[in-house]
Amino acid sequence: MRFRNPIVVMLLAALMLCGATAFAKSNEAFKLKPGAEGKLCLTCHTAFSGKLQAKHIHTPLAKGECTGCHNPHASTHAKLMEGPAETICYKCHDQVIPADAASSHQVVAAGKCVACHDPHASANPANLIKGGGDLCFDCHQALGKKIAANKFSHAPVKQGCLKCHNPHASAKHANLLTAEEPKLCLECHKTTSEGFKKRHLNYPVERGRCTSCHDPHGSNAGALLADNVHQPLKSGMCNQCHEEPTAAQPFALKKQGFELCKGCHYDMLNTAFGKKRLHWPLVDKAGCINCHSPHASTQASLLRKPMLEVCGSCHADTLARQARAQTKHQPINDGECTTCHSPHASDNLFLQTKAATSEVCAQCHDWQTHSTHPIGPEVIDPRNRNLSLDCLSCHRTHGTEYKHFLYYPDVQTLCVQCHTKYRR
């Protein structure tokens, strides 16, 4: 092989020089004898000889360069790592998350590379701990179970998650997708056939977002529609909400916001509008679809996402409080915000399901068994004559930094807020 282009020759020379410099640096730092940057380690760490038989070996180990990641003498990090476990991989693999990535895998962003990769060697490509979807389903358990139980499966899912998703990050697309919808779907699905058009009632769905109706991970409904399908879609009556497929803007809605939904859900909206307090998103431009999918959903009541995610998309501060709290409130943990709140409207503050807070709490807590402290409308709060004592006088339901949702670090500090004569 002859290199005629002098630029190529210079580039190769520069690369070799860089490599040699890096290697020399490691040697210089520890003044190592030849071979001591790795091979010497194996004289004690004999278990690693087995690792070296694996099909896929991490490049530094294959080269016998343990000092690429470990300090042979001492370290402030576990396992004599040369740097923090969360960042050491980025010394070499600094391109796994592109700058301004549209989406990134949580574990990658957190630097938990070893959640998926064996840093030394593995039988799987890219040193993955497990092959195929099994690795992904270790964390995405609910999705794994659903895929296994689905009546109808989507062929690419069987080929592995990486068929559609990037494992680390996606520079331009949400959900780690390798391409945007519908382009990704149209790589396999041809939209020009009469059958396709007929099934979609001649609406130009190739311009839409396939996942607003279909579940790409498989489903129990026909045609891979998400498990819960909105009745008009089930009945093939898209024109109940949208313009006709021949219209200039076939996906345009016939009415805006809740006005559109009112046609069928009149009773529900009428009840909500009769209450004293309305959940404001219900009457903004998006209206019902702030929380509900208009077509199909994997969630009950056609919620766009699991309830906690839906509510948390606006009330992130409340969920963050629960996340920080020492004691977790079970309904929030279970993602059941509606245990205490009416999501559409209520006559009560905070859209509570019941007027008295103690009644809301009493749905789960028999408070008289855990405390005989008097509470109720006739018991005046010594701190504020306009308040009576109830559960919220001592507890903050979405959590505090202290145990049992208490406002104060311990019971004594709490009690002396009112029982002031016992203050020290």
Partner 1 sequence: MRQLLTGIVSLVALGCLLPAAVGAAQLKHLQTLYADGEGVALKLPEGVACDEKTLVVADTGNSRVVIFSLGEQTLVAKAVLPLEGIVPLIVRMNSRGDIYLLNGKDRTVAMLGADGKTAGALKPKGLPDAQNFVPRSFAFDAQDNLYLLDIFAERVLVLDAAGQYLRQIAFPKSYGTMADLAINSQGTVYLLDSVAGAIYAAGPGAEAFTLLGKGLKEYTNFPTSLAIDGQGTIYLSDQHGSGLALIGKDGSFLGRKLAMGWEEGQLYYPAQLCINSQGKLIVADRSNNRVQVFSILNE
Binding-site ranges for partner 1 (CB under 8 A): 256-257, 259, 273, 276-278, 280-281, 283-285, 314-318, 349, 381, 383-387, 393, 407, 417
Distance in Å, CB of 409 to partner 1, minimum: 15
| DSSP element (H, E) containing 296 | strand 296-297
- Nearer to partner 1 by Cβ, of 147 and 311: the residue is 311
Distance in Å, CB of 59 to partner 1, minimum: 40
Q: Judge whether 210 and 181 are in contact, CB under 8 Å.
A: yes
Distance in Å, CB of 83 to partner 1, minimum: 28
Distance in Å, CB of 273 to partner 1, minimum: 8
| DSSP element (H, E) containing 311 | helix 307-312
From residue 398, alpha-carbon distances to 48, 312, 325, 354, 371 in Å are 49, 12, 8, 17, 20
Name the token pair of 321: 């409080």
- Nearer to partner 1 by Cβ, of 191 and 313: the residue is 313
- Nearer to partner 1 by Cβ, of 197 and 262: the residue is 262
Distance in Å, CB of 248 to partner 1, minimum: 20
Which residues of 156-221 form beta strands (DSSP E)?
A: 169-170
Distance in Å, CB of 419 to partner 1, minimum: 14
The pairs formed by 20-25 with CB atoms below 8 angstroms and a separation of 24 or more are: 23/65
From residue 270, alpha-carbon distances to 134, 292, 316, 343, 365 in Å are 48, 18, 29, 14, 32
Q: Judge whether 303 and 231 are in contact, CB under 8 Å.
A: no
- Nearer to partner 1 by Cβ, of 250 and 312: the residue is 312
- Nearer to partner 1 by Cβ, of 370 and 385: the residue is 385
Total Cβ atoms within 10 A of residue 233: 19
- Nearer to partner 1 by Cβ, of 197 and 315: the residue is 315
Q: How far is CA 253 from the centre of its chain?
A: 30
Q: What is the CA radius of gyration of the chain?
A: 30
- Nearer to partner 1 by Cβ, of 280 and 422: the residue is 280
Distance in Å, CB of 285 to partner 1, minimum: 5
